[in-house]
Amino acid sequence: MEEEEEPIQNLWQEVRDLTLGTSTQINHLSSPPTPLQFLRGYVSPNKPCLISNAVNHWPATTLWQSTHYLTNTLSSSTVSLHLTPTGRADALSPNPISPSSLCFASAEVKHLPFPDALTQVLESEMGCVGYLQQQNDCFRSEYGSLSKDCDSDFGWASEAFGCLPEAVNLWIGNELSETSFHKDHYENIYAVVSGEKHFLLLPPTDVHRMYIREYPAAEYHYSQDTGKFSLELEEPVRNVPWCSVNPYPSPELKEKEMTKFPLYFNGPRPFEVTVKAGEILYLPSMWFHHVKQCPDSRGLTIAVNYWYDMQFDIKYAYFNFLQSLPHSMLCDPASSGKLGLESQHNISICNSEDESSMGDGTASASDKLVHDADDTTEK
């Protein structure tokens, strides 16, 4: 068994030795690269980087520090508020029918005037956590009144990618909101305006370390009368392939999780990056990422991300081939004799907005705006 595992484990290390580096840090650029530098140094090798001094000129960097400005500008806007009991939407949760197993739980989405929605975010506590994170180009639709405060795209990125952003999204949350491991079929330029975001990153070659398995889809429902959530499985049953690993298990569960997911916990450490206000993360397509956040003095973290079409080229074909290898059954005795779930799905949906069509080399807008697995997470 160990001999069979070795080639894939060698791949994880060789990718780091040859391309990504062997530390857990990513490159930090003090200013935006030229389109050619960005293309050659980061896009083509599918390599993340942190970029400073790229949004200093945005009015948002100063105006959005005022909660009054936000509520006044969006006073007549209806927005989508995502509600969960723990701040973990599009994440694994105990199955309401069979608590010893897990399901894929999505948030309840309420449509509220922005001032009311923001108040719920600010007043969130464990038991009821609000997060403004609709995606689907929400910055240019629901939050269109704020769009003048940011650039419509990044010229150096648009030239390197050969296109304008497919979608631009706004994220407003607090320290309770957390995004589980997932990937997106987009090139992602992620700008933090207020607060901080902390990312754990793993390259696409580490797909087997994510233990992607199918879980029945469920949705939270909040009762105003009781002030409590219920979790209900979808009917008819719909299964969602999702990353099983929680990188931050509680102390009492850590040993169990490490035994359950040895490839993650015993393999190379994830890359780590904290994106501070005024900084940008380039998150390449198909990289797995987990996100936590630290709010500003008001209790808010605000970010804008730009999704660009990825190229469905030879790298995509290589990833599909790698994912099809039934490596998971080598490490999970329970799956012996069965092909691992990773191999049953071309591009595991770790985000429902990321299932895409390959007809002309890019994903169609309607498909991609649903995101990588039903995962409306951070992205």
Residue 375 has pLDDT above 90, yes or no: no
Our separate counts of H helices and E strands in the chain read: 11, 20
Q: Cis ω on the peptide bond leading into residue 251 (within 30° of 0)?
A: no
| Whole-number CA gyration radius for the chain | 20
Average pLDDT estimate for 287-309: 98
Q: Pairing relation of β-strands 129-132 and 271-276?
A: unpaired
Tell me what pLDDT residue 6 has.
80
Q: Would you place residue 325 in the very low, low, confident or very high pLDDT band (cuts 50, 70, 90)?
A: confident
Cα separation, 349 vs 367, whole angstroms: 12
Tell me what pLDDT residue 378 has.
60
- 358 vs 307, more confident: 307
Tell me what pLDDT residue 7 has.
85
Tell me what pLDDT residue 356 has.
31
The DSSP secondary-structure symbol of 17 reads I
Q: Would you place residue 8 in the very low, low, confident or very high pLDDT band (cuts 50, 70, 90)?
A: confident
Average pLDDT estimate for 256-283: 97
SS3 368: helix
| Integer angstrom CA distances of residue 354 from 312, 316, 340, 373, 377 | 12, 13, 21, 7, 11
Q: Would you place residue 5 in the very low, low, confident or very high pLDDT band (cuts 50, 70, 90)?
A: low
Q: 361 phi and psi, to 5 degrees? A: 95, -10
Cα separation, 291 vs 248, whole angstroms: 11
Residue 342 has pLDDT above 80, yes or no: no
Tell me the pLDDT tens digit for each residue of 141-169.
999 999 999 999 999 999 999 999 999 99
Tell me what pLDDT residue 33 has.
98
Identity of the amino acid at 218: A
CB-CB contact of 110 with 83 (8 Å): yes
